[in-house]
């Protein structure tokens, strides 16, 4: 069974538990979030899930003025999934913001950045257990729509170029490669 987990490096540099192959959003960080996949075929399953989720986020934004917040793997895949004519840069007030950090600071930044009447898409791990943001005061702002991007685990119809982008960029944290 695949699962989300906060990834904290141990003294040997590996995440726990080690019975799954872990793919983290920012593998260089001492603390990040990741998704574990059982072997066999962990790498292939992860590639399709992360690529499909990035594709879903880019499609859901549905605009030409989109800002993507985050520097991790999911943010890079979302930027890759955006149409060529999209401006994913630092626009002063974009119509859509795709937030990939899942942090309180990231969500507050997305809400402060998006223009009135805009859309904030939360494309990160489930936030309820780790992001202390008071829902009504922190997220419920008049004129701004806030929507989650569902994790597309097990989806095999992800665009091939995004799957390839994941496979080029991702490194399993547990030291084991999927397959098998």
Count helices and strands (H / E) in the chain. Answer: 4, 7
More reliable by pLDDT, 118 or 40: 118
Q: What is the mean pLDDT of the chain?
A: 78
Domains along the chain? 3-169 (3.40.50)
Q: Report the share of the chain in percent with pLDDT over 90.
A: 29
pLDDT confidence of residue 147? 87
> Helices 160-169 and 73-81 meet at what angle, rounded to 10?
150
Adjacency order of strands within the sheet including 145-148: 66-69, 96-99, 119-122, 145-148
Q: With bands split at pLDDT 50, 70 and 90, how would you rate the model's confidence at 107?
A: confident
pLDDT confidence of residue 52? 93
**Rounded-to-integer distance, Cα 124 and Cα 146, Å:** 13
This prediction's pTM = 0.81
pLDDT confidence of residue 143? 80
Question: With 90 as the cut, is the pLDDT of residue 127 above it?
Answer: no
At residue 127, the 3 state secondary structure works out as coil
């Amino acid at each position: 069974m695949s699962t989300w987990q906060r990834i904290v490096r141990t003294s040997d540099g590996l995440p726990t538990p080690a019975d799954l192959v872990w793919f983290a959003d920012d593998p260089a960080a001492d603390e990040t979030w990741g998704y574990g996949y059982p072997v066999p075929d962990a790498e292939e399953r992860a590639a399709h899930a992360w690529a499909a989720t990035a594709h879903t986020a880019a499609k859901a934004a549905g605009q030409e003025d989109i800002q993507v917040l985050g520097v991790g793997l999911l943010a890079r895949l979302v930027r890759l999934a955006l149409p060529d004519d999209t401006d994913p840069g630092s626009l002063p007030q974009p119509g859509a913001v795709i937030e990939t950090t899942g942090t309180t600071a990231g969500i507050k930044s997305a809400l402060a950045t998006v223009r009135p009447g805009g859309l904030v898409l939360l494309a990160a791990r489930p936030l309820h257990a780790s992001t202390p943001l008071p829902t009504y005061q922190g997220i419920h702002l008049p004129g701004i729509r806030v929507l989650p991007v569902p994790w597309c685990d097990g989806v095999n119809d992800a665009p091939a170029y995004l799957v390839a982008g994941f496979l080029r960029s991702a490194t399993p944290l547990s030291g084991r490669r999927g397959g098998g």
